[in-house]
Structure 1
């Protein structure tokens, strides 16, 4: 598969997310107006956020494919985790706003809704959101795209939200049918409180992962150990005392700054021979993981690797 194919596939999935989010915004707001349900309104606001985020994501997908230039010496990939960080913060703020509003509604007598119509929305939205999430996840397995991955997670969260809303509507409709109509108005705000709080772990996880990339924190030790092992295997023909590796992940790129502390048997070599070692190591590493970018320095003094 060529790089161009991957770019085209990524943008195709992001466009699908964008247009589908726009459709669900109209659908949710329409049903919220007819049924008077705050839960559906919240789902519509979430879809509206997803719609605008998908639009921005499409723009960012074009930027991160561009090479480095005079303004961005290390390319545009750092925009990717920055956007994902922003998206997670927006989702967190939306969840907290819904919880606060629902607590207020709960103490003011709840919120009555047209539960029969609301259940129709719940079924359609649940099936649609999960279908988009699973489709994007399946189609993006061969892509190195955090943008698509986060979008798939966003749709999964929306699917959980819609499924929970559907369950709440079924409960409220059952209460009305069984003669407990006085309790039905409390289902909507209670449901939103539960949803808002239960959804928080997913955007919080995305926020922390994206923040680590923005501040160039090293990946987890389980990841760095595998990278270091592969790197040393690619340098098996080089006599060295120690290899010091600094690793950072920014969007779809993993950057390695490698200091090779050579031993005395290394001897004198030409610049061309050093270049050949670099090329062999980088080619080997990129065959294993195409997202890796490397700079290799050969030194004698260990202090220069600090």
Structure 2
């Protein structure tokens, strides 16, 4: 079907029209974006440069998740930061579709990571790696890691393509102003010159319902893991609680905004933009802090990397 859209660009209202507030937005979000990309890439470089960490599937996947967070944030943050300097914020139709594709592609890959990768990873970290460490290599071998990586990339791509195909066919024949700072499904459905009730339910089923089910399954898995540790020593239980607690924090930060935005039909909610800020800036910024910066092995690897860089700099 041919796209019947007469709209060549969309106008984004952003967060504020006040020039003074926009300047504050520019500084705050630029700092957050730089910290997000810098922090996540630091994790990636640290793990890649450390043979001991890179040889572990657990840390390999942590580096992969950090890479995804940097990519996801980069799909929106630069344009939002630049737009905060202008009174009128616009994005071309193709640019909007590209942004929408990137959002659901990287988010889709990350969701599947939590299921296809982090589901067994949670088990090995919170149970096998703590209670039965000798079983870890036999469960999380590199062949399984490669398969799970392929599933994550393929699933994220298919999820994003499905979203783009039906969105691209919507007729946008007049209204082009959206009360948001980025292109997303629900705001676009409100602008379409057709009845989008069925498509709104499809978004709920394809994104919101899936996020809700996955989030529930992950929380159940944590409960099962923690209950299974009752017979172990108090030291082992404390270690498991500490490890699983950080994972639960990351899972909540990732899935709660997804459920809030997509597990309902499209409608005007005043807090949608605030939730989107959490997805775009807060979650990718906090993930490396929660997942890795409090990990002794990662911190030791960072110190060694810093020492090598200082030595190389002194030699020059």
TM category, shorter:
0.3 to 0.5
* TM-score, normalization by structure 2: 0.34
Q: Which has the higher helix share?
A: 2
